[in-house]
Amino acid sequence: MFQPKYEELVTQVTTPAYVFDIDVLCNRIQFIKNKLGNKVQLCYAMKANPFVVKAIENQIDYYEVCSHGEFDICERAGINMNKIVLSGVYKAKHDLEYVIAKYQDTLIYTCESPNQFHMIHEIAKQMNIKVNALLRITTHNQFGMSEDQLCSLIEKRKEFPYINIIGIHHFSGTQRKKINMYKEELEYVDSLILKLENEYGYVPDKLEFGPGFYVEYFQHSKQPYDEEELLDGFVDLLDNLHFQGQITIELGRFIAATCGNYYTDIVDYKVNDVPYCIVNGGMHQTTYYGQMMAMKIPYYRQLKKKEVQGDYINCNISGSLCTINDNLVKGLTLQNPEVGDIIEFQRVGAYAMCEGISLFLSRDLPSVYLYSNKEGLQLQRARFETNILNFKQ
């Protein structure tokens, strides 16, 4: 993992910044693939971290792409379009027209509703192209379609010759670690597939399933779990399915979280009833899923200018936004905290860089670096001024 000393960091990285370790990421992908086995394909939900899509192209079977902006990233990166699953609860007609016209039947398209299905079919018909599609079943939220709607499309599938329905897409949530949840959902999907076979003579080729595996972000968890045991149990569930087609497991957070560090400088130190370290980053730049009023302690490291002896102090780490809500951590233990020290927040490889309120107060976007032992540090995005987005003369 990229863990430099203070002197190495300040000469190479302008804070606040993210560093994503590609070696860690590729090792993580290989670990997951080894656990899931050769029968299972891996789909990376690129919304978790779009900066790494090109670096892992040879490690990943598919990318879940949920917006035209994400699709543009894949185009610029030169990603093989055979790896794209074009998903998303909203797909604009003009975007679909562009993609279908240019890439034809290369991609897989998900259909989140009957309306979306009919729109894709109509565009494909006008272009005389037959496209491959997955029908997404809802899990009682705004995503996907009802079982009745899905069954109706399967029943009438011969009326839609420009869509080849290759399978079913199921995803229900994130940060889940109870095997019974996966068991219940897989049994439901398996029973649905069996129903489609028995009642409509339809046997899908593919099942894309998003389990939402759990990532531990915080130290001293009251409910620790063994992720290897979780994966082993999940594979056992897959082995017991009636469905014998291709299974693709869709993961984002579980793949990318551990590859990232976020670096931010202490720019002020003061005691207002309790010690406060003000940093040049903040909640607009890094967030931890499951954090509660900044009370949970993430994995972190303090980097100092020089090795010094000093007292350990529990400090509140507050960001640079003008809101009392901008607290990253309360009660973080630091040794003799001083202006200029750098705090390394770990396990921020997924979502942290894109979930925050980035435009609030017109603060600059942090720089982004990729790291590998072979290539060293590579600047992926320089610091970017957001004030030009919030007002144009």
Going along the chain from its start, the domains and CATH numbers come out as 6-17+258-390 (2.40.37.10), 87-251 (3.20.20.10)
Model confidence at 178, pLDDT cuts 50, 70, 90, reads: confident
Q: Look up residue 160 and give its DSSP letter.
A: -
Over 90: is that where the pLDDT of 310 sits?
A: no
Q: What is the pLDDT of residues 318-366, one digit of tens each?
A: 999 999 999 999 999 999 999 999 999 999 999 988 888 888 889 999 9
Look at residue 274 and give its three-state secondary structure.
strand
Over 80: is that where the pLDDT of 223 sits?
A: no
Whose CA is closest to 79, among 43, 48, 121, 36?
43
Contact between 304 and 341 under an 8 Å Cβ cutoff? The reply is yes
Whose CA is closest to 255, among 217, 214, 206?
214
Over 80: is that where the pLDDT of 309 sits?
A: no
Tokens of 245: 């087609």
Over 80: is that where the pLDDT of 96 sits?
A: yes
pLDDT, residue 289, reads 85
Average the pLDDT over 141-145 and give the result. 94
pLDDT, residue 221, reads 77
Average the pLDDT over 218-238 and give the result. 89
pLDDT, residue 355, reads 80
pLDDT, residue 87, reads 96
Average the pLDDT over 70-92 and give the result. 97
How much of the chain, in percent, has pLDDT values that exceed 90? 87
Over 90: is that where the pLDDT of 308 sits?
A: no
| Alpha carbon separation from 354 to 167, 250, 287 (Å, rounded) | 31, 19, 9
Contact between 105 and 129 under an 8 Å Cβ cutoff? The reply is yes
Burial profile 331-368: b = 16 or more Cβ within 10 angstroms, e = fewer = ebebeebeeebbbbbbbbbbbbbebbbbebbebebbbb
Specify whether the backbone of 379 is left (phi greater than 0), alpha (psi in -120 to 50) or beta.
beta
Burial profile 221-248: b = 16 or more Cβ within 10 angstroms, e = fewer = eeeeeebeebbeebeebbeebebeebbb
User: E-assigned strands of 177-311?
Assistant: 206-210, 246-251, 260-272, 274-279, 300-303
pLDDT, residue 216, reads 93
Residues belonging to the chain? 393
Q: What share of the chain is helix, strand, coil (3-state, %, to 5)?
A: 35, 30, 40
Model confidence at 264, pLDDT cuts 50, 70, 90, reads: very high
Whose CA is closest to 319, among 275, 390, 265?
265
CA distance linking residue 121 with residue 119, whole number of Å: 5
